[in-house]
Amino acid sequence: MTAGSFWQSKIVPLAGGLIFCGLSLVIAIIAGAPLPLAVAGVAYWGAVVLLWPRLARRNRVQSMTLLVAGFAALGWGLQRGATLDVQALLAGNSALISMLVAVSFLALISRPEQEAGEKLPQGKHAVASSLLAVHLFGAVINLSSVFIIGDRISRRLKLERAQVVVLVRGFSAAAFWSPFFAAMAVALSYAPEASLPRLWLVGMPLAAAALLLTGWQVGRGQQGPVHEFTGYPMHFGGLWLPMLLAAAVFVAHALYPSLSVLALITLLAPLLAAVVLSVRRNPLVRLVAGHCGQRLPQMGNELTLFQAAGILGYGLERLSVTFASEFPLQQFGAPEATVAYVGIVIMAVVGVHPIISIALVGSLLAPLEPDHTLLALVFLSSWALGSAVGPLSGMNLGMQGRYGVDSFHIMRWNLGYTALMSVLVVGGVWFIAP
């Protein structure tokens, strides 16, 4: 057995098992098991160690940078008198990661590629159906929806500019509202008391505006001849899963207000996947085992990034506590929220992943006890637009690697869109600010 085959057959499934173990431990903790969250963190770190050699070089460099910066900040904070909680350090972003792992199981019951035999639509109708498809499927199964739909509509793995714009914007706009999106997990980890109904009050109209603006621009031929646009067919039957999941979270949150939205999604996503698979009489155990052995290890890049960001966040939080009396801001209202949003988006344009900026801003603002809904809106909006315009965002790099579309071209195509949407975001910030 070669080293490569040994790694693929033994190490990778073991890493997937550790990730599933971490999720199971977090679910047990949410259900009331007397366990520290750090045990899940240890499982996730074990998976990171096993998957490290398989990570993209850019992710390894970025993660190491976060780790070094995080431990440097922690060391400085300890030197200034901060205390160290080892369990909190190990726990890190375990709750956030668990939600992402839980949501990944929804891919077992939401398969847009099942309609592969259907003729692809063309023209303005195809623009609308493609936007709706990538937005709704992306809201549930995250980034995999972009590649499933992209592979379906591409010709010889070469996407046209208009198709790239529709996929990127349609998907990233889900960050404005989707409780199953990575952006929501990050936002709620730094603003756990945010009100989901208040967020939806602003986030859903912003997402609708993003889709309408994109559809209008592409429909007018600004991204290429619209009559040549080949898109993805969307049926109303495909709406059931996003609607059911959103309703389930809303109802569960009303019944169990003590549980955070993050915890509810972590519980509901795999539960719903298991129920639907059982009703369909699918081989539940075999499918789950295959998912753990194959799909979960593919999350190595984001798992490592979020774990490293957790170290950075904890280090900055410990350090910021020692500077609380010297911090120039004493409140967090609409003006401060606007500056924070613009700053995160600008950082995304120059290549800094939104989660890094969010970790920094969230840690610095924590001592101010800001309004969590306002803070969450800033994070969701900056992720929605920062990931679309950022040349080094995971989505745009994925588009470059899979379809050969330069990520800096994607950035230029989305600069005007980001500027226009930012005006609406700032309006939403001022509207929701207490």
At 352 the pLDDT is 77
d(CA 361, CA 123): 43
Split at pLDDT 50, 70, 90, the class of 346 is very high
What Å distances lie between residue 287 and 108, 186, 371, CA to CA? 8, 28, 42
pLDDT band at 326 (very low <50, low <70, confident <90, very high): low
Mean pLDDT of 384-404: 82
Per-residue pLDDT at 6 exceeds 60:
no
Bridge partners (DSSP) listed for residue 155: 158
How many separate domains does the chain show? 1
pLDDT at 309 over 60: yes
**Which pLDDT score, from 0 to 100, does residue 29 have?**
93
Q: Do residues 46 and 21 make contact, with C-beta atoms less than 8 angstroms apart?
A: no
Indicate whether 115 pLDDT > 60.
no
Question: Is the pLDDT confidence value at 39 over 90?
Answer: yes
Residues 261-285: tens digit of each pLDDT? 778 888 888 998 898 889 888 888 8
- Give yes or no for a contact between 328 and 47, defined as CB atoms under 8 angstroms apart: no
Residue 33: strand, helix, or coil: coil
Least confident segment among 280-294, 318-332, 412-426: 318-332
What is the chain's mean pLDDT, rounded? 85
Q: How far apart are CA 374 and CA 429, in angstroms?
A: 7
Mean pLDDT of 111-128: 71
Give the C-alpha separation, 52 to 146, whole Å. Answer: 25
State the average pLDDT over residues 338-355.
89
Residue with tokens 């936007």, as numbered in its chain: 131
Is residue 85 helix, strand or coil? Answer: coil
Give the span between the Cα atoms of 157 and 71, in whole angstroms.
Answer: 42
Q: What is the pLDDT of residue 210?
A: 97
Q: What pLDDT, on the 0 to 100 scale, is given for residue 260? A: 75
Residue 190 belongs to what domain range?
3-432
Average pLDDT over residues 228-250: 72
Which band of pLDDT confidence, cut at 50, 70 and 90, is reported for residue 156? very low
Band of residue 48 on the pLDDT scale cut at 50, 70, 90: very high
Average pLDDT over residues 395-417: 85
Out of 29-33, 93-97, 265-269, 324-328, least confident range:
324-328
- 9/297 Cα distance (integer angstroms): 12
* Cα 95–Cα 101–Cα 102 angle in degrees, nearest 5: 85
pLDDT band (50, 70, 90) for residue 114? low
